[in-house]
Amino acid sequence: MSRRAHSEAFPEDQTLHIKLAEGDAVEADAYVLRLFSSVARSLPHDARDWDLSNLLLDAQPVTRPTVIAWLNAVYRRAYESDFEQQDPNPACSFQGLFQLLQFADAVGSPTSALLSCLAHIGQLQLQVQLGEQQLQLDAGCCYGFMDIEQEFQLRLSMPGDVDDQDIGEPAGEAAMQECCRQVAKQTEQLLWLAYRLQLAPLIDKLHEFVRSGSDGLLTGLRDAVFTERVLDAALGSNRLGRDAWIAHVVHHVHAPAAGGPRALFKAVDLTDEDDPEARSGAFRAVLQRDFLGAPAGTEVEVAYDLSTGWFNIGGYDFEATLHLR
Picking from 240, 252, 271, 258, the residue whose alpha carbon sits closest to that of residue 316 is 252
What is the end-to-end Cα distance of the chain in Å, rounded?
44
Under a CB-based contact definition with an 8 Å cutoff, are residues 245 and 234 in contact? yes
What is the radius of gyration, based on Cα positions, of the chain? Answer: 23
pLDDT at residue 252, as a whole number: 64
**CATH code that applies to domain 12-121:** 3.30.710.10
DSSP 9: P
C-alpha to C-alpha distance for 164 and 274, rounded to whole angstroms: 33
Counting Cα atoms < 13 Å in the Cβ hemisphere of 317 gives 7
Complete DSSP assignment for 29-86: EHHHHHHH-HHHHTS-TT--EEE-TT-EETTEEPPHHHHHHHHHHHHHHHHSS-SS--
Long-range contacts of 159-162 (CB under 8 A, 24+ apart): 159/287, 159/291, 159/292, 159/293, 159/294, 159/298, 159/300, 159/313, 159/314, 159/315, 159/316, 160/287, 160/294, 160/298, 160/299, 160/300, 160/314, 161/299, 162/294, 162/298
Amino acid at 254: H
Write down the pLDDT at residue 325: 43
pLDDT in tens, the chain (325 residues): 333 444 444 445 589 999 999 999 999 999 999 999 999 999 998 999 999 999 999 899 999 999 999 999 999 999 999 999 998 999 999 999 999 999 999 999 999 999 999 999 999 999 999 999 999 999 988 899 999 988 999 999 876 656 789 999 999 999 999 999 999 999 999 999 999 999 999 999 999 899 888 888 999 999 999 999 999 999 887 766 788 788 878 876 655 444 444 567 776 766 545 555 566 777 777 776 676 666 777 777 777 776 665 667 666 666 555 444 4
pLDDT at position 2: 36
**The pLDDT of residue 245:** 82
pLDDT at 297 (0 to 100):
76
Residues of the chain with CATH 3.30.710.10: 12-121
pLDDT value at position 285? Answer: 77
pLDDT at residue 226, as a whole number? 95
Question: What pLDDT, on the 0 to 100 scale, is given for residue 132?
Answer: 94
DSSP state of 91: G
Q: What are phi and psi of 33, to 5 degrees?
A: -60, -45
pLDDT at residue 269 in the model: 65
